[in-house]
């Protein structure tokens, strides 16, 4: 296979890679995504951050709601962080939302509300890595800056038969070199969208549509019948399982008690139900922390939630209380909210799921 790899590398990459890819894009590329019309650095930036670890179809409604509420960098920069987090609730990876807010404030304060155009400068902003910087620079400003997201890594790893897990530093460096070598000098915005689209719709992780691929004739993985083996997968470790109880304190006037998590750690700065270890006594916890005497505690529902490094199994327990019998709770980190109004809060996803179920089953 060495001679074939040398052939691909030595010949004109524009002829074998970028030209057929752009021709394919002109016919089959995605041109109706909401961040493309109108296209601006702000809209590209928001979409690229949302698309990290998240599928396009999931992102679209979140993007539309976000842009409706924050149509430009000024409105975003001036908004309270809680408002930003509330709109992000459900997308996960909440550090993205906090970094978006920080970056908006920096651009508003230090850059005169104008985005830097070069990837080298964009990368200095919170939450903007090399690939996101390249996406903004190429798509918003037409610069030759090569994106390297998951879709692009997969296309390049297969096309050039690159061995090794793509997140390994040397492999990633090799893929970055290839990404830049393949990028044409013209139509940079279209090319960036084209290679992302190819990975998302044709050169997919499972069951790639090689018969429809414009790069099939010179793709080394296809020629070697090795497509299913590239990119090389990371050896997976079993994620441990943790167990917790969530306490759903529900008052007779249809208020629920929520606590705001600290700005660091799990679900930082999000509103959550009070929680404790699965083997702790909830009655003792309620007495010690809230002054509840002999509370009525019922099993409500169970939820499984996965993080990148562990699985969390949650047993939600319902604690019903009459308004007149509710102890006065010192509202330092926690607060009573009307159940119907909790949808506007920045909630951790398991808490949102539990409250949504309570809305359906109001007693």
Considering only CA atoms, which of 267, 225, 256, 226 is closest in space to residue 340? Answer: 256
Q: Around 39, how many Cα atoms within 13 Å sit in the side-chain half-sphere? A: 16
- Only one residue has tokens 């010690």, namely 288
Contact 270, 92 (CB under 8 A): no
Rg (CA), the chain: 25
- Does residue 48 carry a catalytic annotation? yes
Tokens of 199: 């990975």
Contacts (Cβ under 8 Å, ≥6 apart) of 358? 248, 250, 256, 300, 318, 339
Q: Which of 11, 15, 48, 259 is catalytic?
A: 48
Contact 229, 163 (CB under 8 A): no
CA angle 155, 160, 161 (to 5 degrees): 95
Distance CA 202, CA 262 (A): 43
Q: Is 179 exposed, middle or buried (0-12, 13-18, 19+ CB in 10 A)?
A: buried
DSSP 271: E
Contacts (Cβ under 8 Å, ≥6 apart) of 229? 221
CA angle 109, 112, 118 (to 5 degrees): 105
How much of the chain is helix, strand and coil, in % rounded to 5?
50, 15, 35
Distance CA 360, CA 166 (A): 45
Instruction: Work out whether strand 311-321 and strand 241-251 pair parallel, antiparallel, or are unpaired.
Output: parallel
Residue 176, phi-psi category: left (phi > 0), alpha (psi -120 to 50), beta (remainder): alpha
What residues are annotated to the active site?
48
């Amino acid at each position: 296979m060495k001679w074939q790899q040398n052939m691909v590398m030595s010949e004109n990459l524009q002829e074998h890679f970028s030209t057929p890819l752009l021709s394919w894009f002109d016919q089959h590329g995605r041109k109706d995504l909401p961040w493309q019309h109108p296209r601006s650095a702000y809209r590209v930036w928001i979409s690229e951050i949302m698309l990290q670890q998240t599928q396009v179809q999931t992102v679209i409604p979140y993007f539309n709601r976000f842009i409706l509420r924050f149509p430009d960098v000024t409105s975003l920069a001036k908004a309270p962080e809680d408002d930003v987090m509330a709109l992000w609730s459900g997308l996960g990876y909440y550090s993205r939302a906090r970094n978006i807010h920080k970056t908006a404030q920096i651009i508003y304060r230090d850059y005169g509300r104008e985005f830097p155009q070069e990837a080298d400068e964009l990368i200095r902003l919170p939450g903007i890595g090399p690939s996101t910087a390249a996406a903004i620079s190429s798509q918003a400003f037409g610069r030759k800056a090569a994106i390297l997201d998951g879709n692009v890594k997969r296309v390049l790893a297969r096309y050039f038969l690159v061995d090794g897990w793509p997140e390994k530093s040397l492999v990633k460096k090799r893929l970055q070199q290839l990404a830049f070598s393949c990028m044409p000098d013209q139509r940079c915005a279209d090319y960036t969208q084209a290679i992302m689209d190819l990975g998302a719709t044709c050169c997919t992780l499972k069951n790639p549509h090689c018969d429809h691929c414009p790069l099939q004739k010179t793709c080394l993985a296809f020629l070697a019948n090795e497509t299913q083996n590239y990119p090389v997968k990371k050896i997976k470790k079993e994620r441990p399982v943790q167990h917790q109880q969530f306490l759903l304190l529900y008052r007779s006037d249809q208020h629920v008690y929520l606590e705001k998590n600290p700005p660091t750690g799990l679900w930082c700065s999000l509103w959550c139900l009070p929680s404790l270890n699965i083997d702790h006594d909830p009655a003792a916890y309620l007495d010690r922390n809230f002054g509840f005497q002999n509370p009525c505690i019922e099993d409500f529902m169970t939820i499984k939630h996965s993080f990148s490094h562990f699985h969390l199994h949650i047993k939600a327990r319902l604690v019903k209380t009459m308004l007149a019998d509710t102890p006065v709770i010192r509202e330092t980190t926690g607060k009573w909210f009307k159940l119907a109004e909790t949808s506007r809060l920045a909630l951790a996803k398991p808490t949102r799921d539990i409250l949504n179920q309570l809305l359906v089953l109001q007693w």
